[in-house]
Structure 1
């Protein structure tokens, strides 16, 4: 899928992007934490588009729903069959390790993601070291609005994230192996960059406006389809083709293969354990 990348710098002023930066994107008052959702700055989601965010010292600080950190809030579209949201955090000299909560208008939690749900992705093509996580949410009866809140765990700022040493990556690229080269420990921080991309569950690629009906209680995907997608997802991840694996995951979920996400996660962890 060709991605059009929008650069929205974390609820702060961004020069040169008048299409997205107007009064609604101004920073929160300096020195004040946001204690009510309705007073927080919110960004809209553009479906099937990668949105890049920079969390800086000027990003609003959230003090809501047991959150105490700079945070970004997205107003989610109400898609009948639900949303799959991919989150990737850039690992540089430090890393903003993302956690996420999806809440409704009353503050009820509909989905969550913490750092234990993240996996490490090695540099690939134009992308550097990244942490990746996925969160899925389905509107429930009584939900009039849904919000995605992305923040970091302030209590874990003394911890680090292990990434592969560049010399080791270079050796692996040449077919060599340097067992004596250890991982680099990158400190966690309250600032950093991440990206998100939201996809409607049940919608085919390049047809985001079409939301297919969910399977009824009596309909089940055939075992041949289940086996095919399980194997194809594992094979794509074994080939380090995460984009292909995610496309297969979306197609599998469209067919009602409910455990495809777990197969994806298990395959990612197994691949990382080999390194």
Structure 2
């Protein structure tokens, strides 16, 4: 008797069973009520430039929640909750990975806009470019996209409103495993998910090419010494710190906003203090 072979097959069937159990707790019938969507033409702002952009580090991984507190913008596809990000001044090109978890029979199916320094859309990564990554023993099923952001300054994540409520059907892992092992197809139901207006994402940013500046350009250092005299700051850096301060205050991260304020003042951005105070007043008014 080949005990090694039997043990190997037992482990394969055990993994199939475990994934089946995991999925049975993750997927629910698609007849459940959809999360509340924003109004058809609702919008927080008149233009993309007015959105609050979260500053990104050159390399980082972060969790992103899109919910009823997220900014609403009326995109070409209709109104959607959104999250907006600004690449760091030293990032010329970056590799971006976005994962959207499929759970409880629902999933946020992202669209991504990539903007230049003038807030003009230069590329769109639509929901069609997000591929299904089936569940395994360590993680649930997800929608995943990998793309390069080259010569762009801003990134906006949102959803195609016209697709809310539509179904995504994925092959049950037990069927995938059975096909792989040449076994009879099990009597299991393929998980079904609906595209919804809110959800949780994970995002990773990795700078692949750094921007080059003249030797006296203040953007070469994000923490210049107080004794330095950087001269007049570049408008790109001014915009970056203004938006970063507003975003930090909006997230109730005052310590981060204060740190950004100090850095901005060291760069010679003289109106950063006024931006901070205005952002604090606006935040207090909302509360």
TM-score by length of 1: 0.53
The yes-or-no answer on 1:89 pairing with 2:100 is yes
1:78–1:139 Cα contact (<8 Å) kept:
no
Q: Is the 8 A contact 2:58 2:90 kept in 1?
A: no
The aligned counterpart of 2:63 is 52
For 1:12-161, list aligned pairs within 5 A. 33-64=44-75, 68-79=79-90, 81-93=92-104, 94-139=106-151, 146-161=153-168
Task: Go from structure 1 to structure 2 and tell me whether the alpha carbon gap of 1:81 and 1:47 turns closer, same or farther (over 3 Å shift).
Answer: closer
Alignment of 1:218-233 (within 5 A): none
Q: Distance in 2 between matches of 1:33 and 1:50?
A: 27
Q: Name the CA distance, whole Å, in 1 between partners of 2:66 and 2:163.
A: 17
Is 1:164 the equivalent of 2:171?
A: yes
Instruction: Determine which structure has more spread, i.e. the larger CA radius of gyration.
Output: 2
**1:188: how far off?**
0.6
- The structural deviation recorded for 1:105 is 3.4
* CA distance in structure 1 between the partners assigned to 2:182 and 2:127 by the alignment: 31
Q: Which moved more, 1:67-76 or 1:172-181?
A: 172-181
Q: RMSD value over aligned CA atoms?
A: 3.0
Residue aligned with 1:71, SS: strand
- Runs of 5+ unmatched residues, structure 2: 1-41, 211-220, 222-287
Which residue is 2:27 aligned to?
Answer: none
Q: Distance in 2 between matches of 1:116 and 1:101?
A: 14
Aligned runs of 1:205-224 on 2, under 5 Å? none
CA distance in 2, matches of 1:95, 1:42: 24
The alpha carbon displacement at 1:54 in A equals 1.3
CA distance in 2: counterparts of 1:106 and 1:167, whole angstroms: 49
Shift of 1:158: 3.1
Looking at structure 2, the residues matched to 202 and 124 of structure 1 have their Cα atoms a distance apart, in angstroms, of 34
Deviations 1:46-89 (A, max 9, x none): 34322111111221111256662000000112456511111110
Choose between structure 1 and 2 for higher RCO, CA contacts under 8 A separated by at least 6 residues.
Answer: 2
TM-score, with structure 2 as normaliser = 0.51
Shift of 1:199: 0.9
| Match of residue 196, structure 1, among 199, 203, 207 | 203
Cα contact 1:160–1:185 (8 A) shared by 2: yes
